[in-house]
Amino acid sequence: MSEITNPFDPNFGKVPKIYLGRQKIVEDIVRSLESGTGPYQTSMIYGMRGVGKTSLLADITSTLEQKDNWIVIYLAMTNDLLATLIQSIYQEAANPVKKALNKIDGVKFSAFGFELEVHISNPQSTYQVLLEEMLKVLKNPDLKLKCNTKC
Protein backbone atom coordinates (compact mmCIF):
# COMPACT_ATOMS: atom_id res chain seq x y z
CA MET A 1 0.00 0.00 0.00
CA SER A 2 1.47 3.36 -1.01
CA GLU A 3 1.42 6.25 1.40
CA ILE A 4 -0.43 9.40 0.34
CA THR A 5 1.26 12.57 1.52
CA ASN A 6 -0.52 15.82 2.15
CA PRO A 7 1.05 18.70 0.13
CA PHE A 8 0.07 21.17 2.89
CA ASP A 9 2.97 21.66 5.26
CA PRO A 10 2.32 24.49 7.75
CA ASN A 11 5.92 25.75 7.94
CA PHE A 12 5.50 29.49 7.58
CA GLY A 13 7.56 31.06 4.83
CA LYS A 14 8.57 27.70 3.39
CA VAL A 15 7.88 27.26 -0.30
CA PRO A 16 5.69 24.18 -0.76
CA LYS A 17 6.75 21.30 -2.99
CA ILE A 18 3.43 21.45 -4.85
CA TYR A 19 1.47 24.58 -5.72
CA LEU A 20 -2.21 23.94 -6.21
CA GLY A 21 -3.41 26.31 -8.91
CA ARG A 22 -0.93 29.11 -8.21
CA GLN A 23 1.16 29.06 -11.39
CA LYS A 24 -1.35 31.16 -13.37
CA ILE A 25 -1.43 33.95 -10.78
CA VAL A 26 2.37 33.91 -10.48
CA GLU A 27 2.69 34.17 -14.28
CA ASP A 28 0.11 36.99 -14.40
CA ILE A 29 1.88 38.98 -11.68
CA VAL A 30 5.33 38.51 -13.23
CA ARG A 31 4.02 39.47 -16.69
CA SER A 32 2.35 42.55 -15.20
CA LEU A 33 5.51 43.60 -13.36
CA GLU A 34 7.62 43.11 -16.49
CA SER A 35 5.28 45.11 -18.71
CA GLY A 36 5.21 48.01 -16.27
CA THR A 37 1.55 48.67 -17.03
CA GLY A 38 -0.42 45.92 -15.32
CA PRO A 39 -2.51 46.04 -12.18
CA TYR A 40 0.17 44.51 -9.91
CA GLN A 41 2.71 47.38 -9.94
CA THR A 42 1.97 48.07 -6.28
CA SER A 43 0.29 45.24 -4.44
CA MET A 44 -0.62 44.22 -0.95
CA ILE A 45 -1.06 40.52 -0.41
CA TYR A 46 -3.22 39.72 2.58
CA GLY A 47 -5.11 36.79 3.99
CA MET A 48 -5.50 34.55 6.96
CA ARG A 49 -2.51 32.98 8.63
CA GLY A 50 -1.19 29.95 6.77
CA VAL A 51 -2.92 30.49 3.42
CA GLY A 52 0.36 30.94 1.52
CA LYS A 53 1.03 34.68 1.28
CA THR A 54 4.75 34.33 1.96
CA SER A 55 5.00 31.28 -0.29
CA LEU A 56 3.33 33.18 -3.14
CA LEU A 57 5.79 36.07 -2.72
CA ALA A 58 8.70 33.63 -2.59
CA ASP A 59 7.57 32.02 -5.86
CA ILE A 60 7.19 35.41 -7.59
CA THR A 61 10.55 36.53 -6.23
CA SER A 62 12.40 33.38 -7.32
CA THR A 63 10.92 33.78 -10.81
CA LEU A 64 12.17 37.39 -11.01
CA GLU A 65 15.59 36.56 -9.52
CA GLN A 66 16.23 34.23 -12.46
CA LYS A 67 15.96 37.15 -14.88
CA ASP A 68 19.04 39.26 -15.67
CA ASN A 69 17.19 42.58 -15.76
CA TRP A 70 15.80 42.43 -12.21
CA ILE A 71 17.32 43.48 -8.91
CA VAL A 72 15.39 41.84 -6.07
CA ILE A 73 15.91 43.06 -2.53
CA TYR A 74 14.37 42.20 0.82
CA LEU A 75 13.51 44.92 3.31
CA ALA A 76 12.46 44.83 6.92
CA MET A 77 10.31 47.70 8.13
CA THR A 78 12.77 49.78 10.16
CA ASN A 79 13.30 53.43 10.99
CA ASP A 80 16.07 53.72 8.40
CA LEU A 81 14.08 52.15 5.57
CA LEU A 82 15.29 54.52 2.83
CA ALA A 83 18.94 54.14 3.78
CA THR A 84 18.54 50.35 3.86
CA LEU A 85 16.78 50.41 0.49
CA ILE A 86 19.56 52.51 -1.08
CA GLN A 87 22.32 50.28 0.29
CA SER A 88 20.48 47.09 -0.73
CA ILE A 89 20.04 48.30 -4.31
CA TYR A 90 23.75 49.03 -4.53
CA GLN A 91 24.80 45.69 -2.99
CA GLU A 92 22.55 43.62 -5.28
CA ALA A 93 23.40 45.49 -8.48
CA ALA A 94 25.75 43.98 -11.04
CA ASN A 95 29.17 45.62 -11.50
CA PRO A 96 28.26 47.72 -14.58
CA VAL A 97 25.28 49.13 -12.70
CA LYS A 98 27.45 49.80 -9.62
CA LYS A 99 29.85 51.78 -11.82
CA ALA A 100 26.94 53.90 -13.06
CA LEU A 101 25.63 54.37 -9.50
CA ASN A 102 29.10 55.47 -8.37
CA LYS A 103 28.82 58.41 -10.78
CA ILE A 104 25.86 59.91 -8.90
CA ASP A 105 26.94 63.29 -7.59
CA GLY A 106 27.11 63.70 -3.83
CA VAL A 107 27.33 60.06 -2.73
CA LYS A 108 30.11 57.58 -2.08
CA PHE A 109 29.26 53.88 -1.93
CA SER A 110 31.42 51.31 -0.19
CA ALA A 111 31.14 47.77 1.15
CA PHE A 112 30.16 49.24 4.51
CA GLY A 113 27.39 51.54 3.31
CA PHE A 114 27.25 54.91 1.66
CA GLU A 115 28.17 58.45 2.55
CA LEU A 116 26.25 61.49 1.47
CA GLU A 117 28.49 64.43 0.66
CA VAL A 118 25.60 66.88 0.60
CA HIS A 119 24.57 68.25 3.99
CA ILE A 120 20.88 69.07 4.03
CA SER A 121 18.93 69.64 7.26
CA ASN A 122 16.33 67.00 6.36
CA PRO A 123 18.09 63.65 5.71
CA GLN A 124 14.85 62.04 4.48
CA SER A 125 14.72 64.42 1.51
CA THR A 126 18.38 63.67 0.80
CA TYR A 127 17.67 59.94 0.75
CA GLN A 128 14.66 60.53 -1.47
CA VAL A 129 16.72 62.57 -3.94
CA LEU A 130 19.44 59.91 -3.93
CA LEU A 131 16.88 57.13 -4.46
CA GLU A 132 15.34 59.04 -7.38
CA GLU A 133 18.80 59.41 -8.95
CA MET A 134 19.48 55.69 -8.47
CA LEU A 135 16.17 54.80 -10.12
CA LYS A 136 17.09 57.01 -13.10
CA VAL A 137 20.32 55.03 -13.47
CA LEU A 138 18.43 51.74 -13.24
CA LYS A 139 15.94 52.93 -15.87
CA ASN A 140 18.66 53.56 -18.46
CA PRO A 141 19.75 49.92 -18.99
CA ASP A 142 16.08 48.89 -18.61
CA LEU A 143 16.61 47.26 -15.23
CA LYS A 144 13.76 46.66 -12.83
CA LEU A 145 13.59 46.63 -9.05
CA LYS A 146 11.41 44.50 -6.79
CA CYS A 147 11.29 45.06 -3.03
CA ASN A 148 9.82 42.55 -0.64
CA THR A 149 8.85 44.02 2.70
CA LYS A 150 7.20 42.56 5.74
CA CYS A 151 5.13 44.86 7.91
Do 7 and 42 lie in a common domain? yes
Do 61 and 118 lie in a common domain? no
> How does pLDDT run across 12-62, given as a tens digit for each residue?
556 666 666 788 889 999 998 888 787 887 888 888 987 888 888 888 988
Q: State which amino acid sits at residue 118.
A: V
Do 50 and 110 lie in a common domain? no
> If pLDDT is split at 50, 70 and 90, which confidence band does 109 have?
confident
Which among 42, 67, 92 is the end of a domain? 67
Do 79 and 150 lie in a common domain? yes
What residues contact 33, with CB distance under 8 A and at least 6 apart?
A: 40, 41, 64, 144, 146
Domain range enclosing 88: 71-151
The pLDDT, as a whole number, for residue 85 is 85
Do 76 and 150 lie in a common domain? yes
What residues contact 105, with CB distance under 8 A and at least 6 apart?
A: 133
The pLDDT, as a whole number, for residue 142 is 66
CA distances from 25 to 21, 33, 65 (A): 8, 12, 17
Do 57 and 118 lie in a common domain? no
User: What proportion of the chain, given as a percentage, has pLDDT over 90?
Assistant: 2
CA distances from 23 to 60, 83, 121, 144 (A): 10, 34, 48, 22
Number of domains in the chain: 2
How many helical (H) and strand (E) elements, i.e. helices and strands, does the chain have?
A: 5, 4
Is the pTM higher than 0.75? The answer reads: no
